[in-house]
Structure 1
Amino acid sequence: MPFTQPQASIFADYEILVNGSSLPGSAQLHITGVTVDEQVNLPTMFALTFGSLDVQEGEVLWLDNSLFSIGNTVEVKLGYRENLATLIIGEITAIEPEFTIDRLPKVMIRGYDRSHRLHRGRHTQTFVQLKDSDIAGQIAQQVGLSSQVEDSGVVHDYILQANQTHMEFLQERAGKINYEVMVEDRNLVFRPTANQDSEIITLTFSDDLLQFYPCMSSASQVNEVKVQGWNPKEKQAIIGRATTGDEGSKMGGEISGAALSQNAFGTAVKTLSDRPIITLAEAEQFAQARFRQLNLELITGEGICRGRTDLRAGKVVQIEGVGRRFSGQYYVTSVLHRYRDSQYQTKFTVRRNAE
């Protein structure tokens, strides 16, 4: 949804559905703020703030209403007048009232998408002769979610989930292969970090991009990652490597973080030997994953734009109007959608792996 007029924010609007039904108009009158906070590899959170609540016969309006009970399903839509989009379908997990002597009570209703269920309880189980993508599919089935997984390629002899929440375990596995974990409604997504995708929207400074604070740093850049392991059957050392050229897409840039730092400061190697690696395929996959993760830290940034429901974590955005060095594609790592006082703004953080 392009923004050609600055006054578009005047027409910002929202819709809240609880258990599939629209919020009563009398409840909407008391809403003072709507927030949706989305981050890669973390549960997406929503928060609804209700202010100036009346106290009648010992009950606080809406605070004591069964409409806002723990576990109820909430759908949050934001946007502009007739063009609203769903940002989250989640579940209420917290009710936070605020009582002060000098004003009427207010309450915040907070909840998360269904990935919060993956944080409940700790589990110990083993997986034999399976890929990480197979394991993600199995865990989704265990918690009653459907799954959308992309083949991770390498079969592991033995993997242990050792007294971990499902999300801790999946994030650990995802981190080793440069994957990301998220839940979209009732669907568990396990896929490669999507910084190689084409951009979905363009943000232009002084148009819909209001503030942008990028930082280019060579601090974490290396031109080689080396992973060392040991094969107990063959009694042989295993070494997997990833070097300049293995960074994948340069996101429209000309020179990667690895090459940029090598040209400026010479060779730098990061060696990893603290994880159980028993096959060459595992070592090479882990080396490439860590190399790409480090490259993606070359440029980091945060910004604020006019409210955009199509700006989502895990997507790629094109940023323009900020000079040759910092204009280009960025991978979005977090997005905060905020509606307050009839105004809608989106705050975001991004990363890029090349100049």
Structure 2
Amino acid sequence: MSTDTFTPLAQQSTEYGGFYVPRMEILIDGQGLPRDIAKDIVSLTYVDSIETIDSFTLVVNNWDDERHEFRYIGSETADELTPGHRNHALRTLFESCGKEVEVRLGYGNDLVTMVRGTFTTMQPEFTDGGAVLKVTGQNVLHQLRGKQYSDTWHGKRDTEVIADLAQRSDNGRKRFPLPVYIDPDATQNEKPVPVITQNRQTDLDFMWQRARARGFVIFVQEADKDQKIERRLYFGPARPGFIPGFRTVRYRLTWGRSLMVFKPVISTASQVRSVTVKGWNRTAKEPISRTVRLDDPRIDVNTDLFRMLRCNEREEIVTDEPIFENCHARERAIAILVEQVKRLITAEGVKVVGLPQLRAGQVVQIDGVGARLSGEYFITKTTHTFDDNGYVTTFDCRREQPQDTKG
């Protein structure tokens, strides 16, 4: 992949007015916060990850200087908590009661919806130096952790199983709060699995289990009016730079210019040269064993670094997974080895200027750190922080340099 497809930060700067007017906006049930409440927001932190539920945290000033009392929690009366009271809306504003919260970040009038979710936690702090309230929220995925289910599918692909779950109801209510988008390429390339079992698991934990087994990712994709895409849940491979409905900007970050601090870790301790997956063929009543090595042409990331593993003779043997066919054993071995190779170099990028379009699931090009460390990195987590110091983004990533594109 050519680095010409990556956007230098200088180009993005012109679109965001030089990053001079950072802004945040909090909408509750579609309404912006009144000015007197908005000024109480001390900071906003939004975190997204390919392995956890997206979350946001507000730090709110909880002291009213004029009334000399706690503003949101700590001074309320029972009457004020009763619907219809004139202070009811203020006292219960940050309660976990089903309100939809939308968090937006950006510059000037160009704001990006980072997450839509609900408040889940209130954590007031009463000290002799003042009072603050920490309010945490999560996106809609946390609704998939409400109940455990058990079921079994025979001869189905993982994408087919998740598509089936997305249509199911419980007591007349759909188990999934959003429609599910299944990557069609994933379904086409998958092989059916003899047996897939959901064993007393919530739908979310089961989805993550199946995603990890395939090397897939799960994330909520917000609605995109321009592309006429509804809000939905994505289940499929982590195709570099691919987030359905999300602007396909891919940044080029250069150390010393657009990237002030870059902390990579090169680790060969957990790397292996081959993976063997074993199982049992129930039909033929014979053992299954398939081995995949680093020289397999399907292992096509970070190949320029394989020389660092030439002294490593470690082999991983997997015997504790339900494997019933040779093709399934081979696919699982490939997935495990590819996942290992992707973690050969992990890194943290610190104090990048606030970039609302930089999100988990995207790819960035890192330059200026030498041949081994420069290259394409897959973003696994981002943290966006807005406070009195402005708007900054930090990120975690792993090097996933495609084969034959380095140099």
Same fold (TM over 0.5): yes
Task: Pick the aligned partner of 1:49 from 49, 56, 59.
Answer: 59
Superimposed CA distance per residue, residues 8-43 of structure 1 (whole angstroms, 9 cap, x where no aligned partner): 455211111111111111111111101101111210
Give matches, 1:164-243, under 5 Å: 164-185=201-222, 186-195=231-240, 200-243=250-293
Query: Quick one: which of 328, 351, 356 aligns to 1:282?
Result: 328
1:247–1:302 Cα change, 3 Å = farther
Segments of structure 2 that go 5 or more residues without pairing to the other structure are 1-10, 74-89, 168-174, 223-230, 243-247
Question: TM-score w.r.t. structure 1 length?
Answer: 0.90
In structure 2, the partner of 1:82 is 109
**Which runs of structure 2 are paired with 1:145-160 in the superposition (5 Å)?**
145-150=178-183, 151-152=186-187, 153-160=190-197
2:304 to 233, 255, 258: 255
Q: Matched residue of 2:260: which SS?
A: strand
User: Counterparts in 2 of 1:52-63, with a 5 A limit?
Assistant: 52-54=62-64, 60-63=70-73
Structure 1 residue 267: deviation in Å?
A: 3.5
Q: Which amino acid aligns with 1:208?
A: S
Please say if residues 262 and 268 of structure 1, whose CA atoms lie closer than 8 Å, have aligned partners that are also in contact. no
Write 1 or 2 for the structure with the bigger share of strand.
1
CA distance in 2, matches of 1:154, 1:342: 51
- Whether contact under 8 Å (2:13, 2:19) holds in the other structure is no
Aligned to 2:245: none
**How far apart are the structure 2 equivalents of 1:295 and 1:230?**
27
Q: TM-score, normalised by structure 2?
A: 0.79
CA RMSD of aligned residues (A): 2.6
Q: For this pair of structures, how many residues does the alignment match?
A: 349
Q: 1:143 aligns to what?
A: 176
SS state at 2:373 partner: coil
Residue type of the alignment partner of 1:34: L
Unaligned runs of 5+ in 1: none
Q: 1:308 and 1:136 mapped to 2: Cα distance?
A: 32
Q: For 2:139, give the aligned amino acid.
A: D
Given that 1:179 and 1:192 are in contact with CA atoms closer than 8 Å, whether structure 2 keeps it comes out as yes
Alignment partners' CA distance in 1, 2:58 and 2:342: 34
Question: Do the aligned partners of 2:377 and 2:398 also contact (CA within 8 Å) in 1?
Answer: yes
Is contact 2:163-2:180 (8 Å) kept? yes
Tell me which residue corresponds to 2:368: 321
- What do residues 269-326 of structure 1 show as CA deviations (whole Å, max 9, x unaligned)? 2111111111112111111110110000111100121111111001111111222321
Note the C-alpha offset of 1:249.
3.9
Cα deviation, 1:227-271, whole Å, max 9, x if unaligned, reads: 011012211111223222345442xx5514xx32443x0543211
CA contact (8 A) 1:247 1:291 kept: no
Q: Which amino acid aligns with 1:296?
A: K
Match of 1:310 in 2: 357
